[in-house]
Amino acid sequence: MDSSFRQNLRSELDFQGLTVKELSARTGIPKSTLDCYLGSRATMPPADAAVLIAKALGVSVEYLVTGSNQTDSSQSIEQGKILKDIISDLTKLNKTALCYTQATVHAVLKAQDSLLQS
């Protein structure tokens, strides 16, 4: 458990390209409170706040706390196979089709963000 909540939260925000202000809007947690979780003192949030943050980011609380998720290994294997198939299919696309696919994925992610904010 080398990972800390602060590091994992910061990494996830960076990965998703979100600001603390955007996370605040998604969760209803004041920006100043989120800054405390991300600051050098690395305050650990109460469970209810951690759940709100995890839901807003689409990750588990366990991931934010430990940096890893304990998933069923058969589920992980199946997801790995699906990802390999997707990557294989994407490498077969021409540039135009790949651009359309990318635009579609971005639209789906944007719609998902809208649903999470509702």
Q: What is the pLDDT of residue 40?
A: 81
Which residue's structure tokens are 């198939």? 85
* Residue 52 near residue 43, CB atoms below 8 Å: no
- Sequence-separated (6 or more) residues with CB below 8 Å from residue 18: 57
Using DSSP, state whether 73 is helix, strand or coil. Answer: helix
Q: What is the pLDDT of residue 1?
A: 39
Q: Sorting pLDDT into bands at 50, 70 and 90, what band is 66?
A: confident
- pLDDT above 60 (res 72): no
Token pair for 96: 């135009």
Q: Sorting pLDDT into bands at 50, 70 and 90, what band is 37?
A: very high
Of 48, 46, 27, 26, the C-alpha closest to 37 is 46
Which residue's structure tokens are 């999470």? 116
Q: Sorting pLDDT into bands at 50, 70 and 90, what band is 93?
A: confident
- pLDDT above 70 (res 3): no
pTM above 0.85, yes or no: no
Q: What is the pLDDT of residue 76?
A: 66
* Residue 9 near residue 64, CB atoms below 8 Å: yes
Mean pLDDT of the chain: 84
